[in-house]
């Protein structure tokens, strides 16, 4: 295939989500953001629209679409707001997807339908207080088998969707055996409300203020042995694959934010005047917007490419890392320029560009920092070793053993 024209189905989805974002999300999300409040009403409407079930088969209540469709929805949501987009991304890409990919028939039938309808949310607990990039080296959370139960102990940090009133399950990565570089890591599903699971208070965040992110603590937290997700000891490999896909979704989100900056600026420079002309009259402003559009378009092509490879069943590791790296850079640069074009109003909560500015930064951090994306790209190019050269440095280890 050459080119990335959307087929009728994808274009119809794009338009539906665009309309939803502009008519339903845009008018109210600023208030939720300023209050630091999770927008349950909007999430319920997204559920009714089928967004949480987009890439899942109809038998689980899904829409039977593909990963490209899911990313397209994220892109159009993030053009207007990133809090709702990340809520969808984490719920589907990190929460429900591992259950769909690695769960037994019973686990899929039990957990997926309410998740696909957006009535409940799933979360993914990988990062720990001691480190997210070197998660394998820094992991301390354990799960031991005691009769027919797993007993989980430890803590997780920054877990999206983990503390909403509709959160149903958190899949947690834990050490289930071995030690040192031979750690056995498995995925265990911990239902919300399980005794021994303490969901901490919502963080006070710089951005994504209308999304839910919390620390978790596990103290002798017991779940049935059947809550193991997939094969014992395969947890780390499962989540490396999950994160490869997740990066495409974050790239779509970043490209959407970058495009949203262009949307807002085009409106603003047509109205705002200075020195007798609309701002859009001045070439310096036009060039800034032209650069923003070029970044947004390149970022969009990056995730289109990675998502198309995912749908075709091709390897995506390098394409996903490139898409995520470049889209997050585009989002940051566009948010900075959009805020500049808005002048003092860019610094006020009244306009969305200030929100975009605060939301863009985390795209260079979550689901693998920009440095981690560069490690992946370098490794995919066959480059090995690292500046530290020290044993234990992530760059010295085999690709499949490290790096979130
Ligand atoms: C709002 C938000 C939501 C999140 N949601 C989730 C979630 O739902 N689930 C989840 O599991 N996690 C989640 N995370 C965690 C996120 O994935 C981590 O923050 C991220 O992976 C980075 O880990 P860290 O914060 O521990 O930083 P560190 O790993 O401590 O890194 C700190 C800095 O050091 C750099 N660095 C580290 N190692 C190297 C190296 N070898 N060479 C060069 N530079 C290096 C990093 O790039 C970074 O700049 C979320 C984070 C945020 C902020």
Using the predicted structure, report yes or no on whether residue 341 has a pLDDT greater than 50.
yes
pLDDT tens digits for range 69-78: 999 999 999 9
Q: Residue 56's closest CA among 88, 97, 13?
A: 97
The Å distance, Cα 246 to ligand 1 centre, comes to: 14
Residue by residue, DSSP assigns 190-256 as EETT-TTEEE-PPP--SS-TTS-EEEEEEEEEEEEGGGEESSTT-HHHHHHHHHHHHHHHHHHHHHH
Q: From CA 26, how far away is CA 10, in angstroms rounded?
A: 22
CA of 374 to the centre of ligand 1 (A): 14
Query: What are 55-93's pLDDT values in tens digits?
Result: 999 999 999 999 999 999 999 999 999 999 999 999 999
Neighbours of 327 (CB within 10 A): 34
DSSP sequence for 127-176: -BTTBSTTHHHH---EEEEETTEEEEEEEEEEEETSSSTTEEEEEEEEEE
Residue 362 CA to ligand 1 centre (angstroms): 10
Res. 357: pLDDT tops 70? yes
Strand partners, 190: 170
Determine the 3-state secondary structure of 296 from DSSP: helix
Please report which confidence band the pLDDT of residue 398 belongs to, taking 50, 70 and 90 as the band edges: very low
Using the 8-state DSSP alphabet, how is residue 343 labeled?
G
Q: Examine the pLDDT at 404 and tell me if it is beyond 70.
A: no
Q: How far apart are CA 288 and CA 295, in angstroms?
A: 11
CA nearest ligand 1 atom 7, residue = 159
Q: Which of 365, 377, 401 to mutate to test the pocket of ligand 1 (most atoms within 8 A of CB)?
A: 365
What's residue 386's pLDDT? Answer: 62
pLDDT of residue 4: 82
Q: Which two tokens stand for residue 322?
A: 């490139």
What is the predicted pLDDT for the residue at 29? Answer: 98
CA distance 127 to 176: 16
* DSSP label at residue 187: E
Expressed in angstroms and rounded, the spacing between residue 368 Cα and the centre of ligand 1 is: 6
Q: What is the Cα–Cα distance from 250 to 328, expressed in whole angstroms?
A: 8
Geometric angle at alpha carbon 78, from 73 and 83, rounded to 5°: 110
Task: Give, in degrees to the nearest 5, the angle at Cα 199 between 193 and 201.
Answer: 140
pLDDT of residue 389: 37
* Six-digit token string for 385: 């070793």
What is the per-residue pLDDT for 340? 98
DSSP state of 23: I
Find, among 185, 170, 169, the residue nearest to 230 by Cα.
185
Which protein residues are within 6 Å of ligand 1, measured from CB? 90, 94, 123-127, 131-133, 158-160, 205, 208, 213, 362, 365-369, 371-372, 393-394, 404
Which residue, judged by its Cα, is nearest atom 42 of ligand 1?
A: 371
Among 58, 367, 371, 400, which one carries the catalytic annotation?
A: 367
The confidence band for 400, taking pLDDT boundaries of 50, 70 and 90, is very low
- Active site (annotated) includes residue 367: yes
Mean pLDDT, residues 317-322: 98
The band of 399, judged by pLDDT with boundaries at 50, 70 and 90, is: very low
pLDDT per position as a tens digit, 159-209: 999 999 999 999 999 999 998 878 999 999 999 999 999 999 999 999 999
Asked if residues 363 and 328 have their Cβ atoms less than 8 Å apart, the reply is yes
Q: pLDDT per residue over 245-296, tens digit each?
A: 999 999 999 999 999 999 999 999 999 999 999 999 999 999 999 999 999 9
Across all residues in the chain, what is the average pLDDT?
94
Q: What is the pLDDT of residue 392?
A: 36
């Amino acid at each position: 295939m050459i080119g990335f024209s959307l087929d009728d189905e994808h274009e119809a989805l794009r338009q539906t989500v665009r309309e939803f974002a502009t008519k339903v999300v845009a008018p109210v999300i600023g208030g939720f953001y300023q209050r630091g409040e999770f927008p349950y009403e909007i999430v319920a409407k997204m559920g009714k629209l089928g967004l949480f079930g987009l890439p899942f088969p109809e038998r689980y209540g899904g829409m039977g679409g593909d990963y490209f469709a899911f990313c397209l929805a994220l892109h159009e949501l993030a053009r207007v707001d990133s809090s709702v987009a990340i809520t969808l991304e984490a719920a589907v890409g990190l929460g429900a997807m591992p259950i769909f990919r690695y769960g037994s028939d019973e686990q899929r039938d039990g957990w997926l339908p309410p998740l696909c309808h957006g009535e409940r949310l799933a979360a993914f607990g990988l990062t720990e207080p001691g480190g997210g990039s070197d998660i394998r080296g820094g992991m301390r959370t354990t799960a031991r088998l005691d009769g027919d139960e797993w007993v989980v102990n430890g803590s997780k940090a920054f877990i999206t969707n983990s503390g909403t009133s509709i959160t149903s399950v958190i899949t947690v990565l834990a050490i289930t055996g071995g030690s040192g570089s031979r750690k056995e890591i498995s995925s265990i599903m911990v239902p919300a409300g399980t005794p021994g699971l303490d969901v901490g208070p919502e963080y006070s965040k710089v951005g994504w203020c209308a999304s839910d992110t919390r620390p978790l603590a596990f103290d002798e937290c017991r779940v049935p042995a059947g809550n193991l997700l997939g094969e014992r000891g395969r947890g780390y490999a499962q989540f490396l694959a999950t994160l490869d896909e997740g990066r495409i979704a974050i790239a779509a989100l970043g490209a959407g934010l970058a495009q949203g900056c262009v949307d807002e600026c085009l409106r603003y420079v047509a109205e705002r005047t200075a020195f007798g002309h609309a701002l859009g009259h001045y070439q310096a402003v036009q060039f800034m917007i032209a650069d923003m559009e070029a970044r947004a378009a390149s970022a969009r092509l990056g995730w289109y490419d990675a998502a198309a490879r995912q749908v075709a069943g091709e390897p995506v590791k390098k394409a996903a890392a490139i898409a995520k790296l470049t889209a997050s850079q585009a989002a940051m640069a566009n948010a900075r320029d959009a805020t500049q074009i808005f002048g003092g109003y860019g610094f006020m909560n009244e306009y969305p560009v200030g929100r975009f500015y605060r939301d863009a930064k985390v795209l260079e951090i979550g689901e693998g920092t920009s440095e981690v994306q560069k490690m992946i790209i370098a490794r995919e190019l066959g480059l090995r070793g690292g500046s530290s050269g020290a044993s234990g440095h992530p760059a010295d280890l085999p690709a499949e053993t490290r790096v979130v």
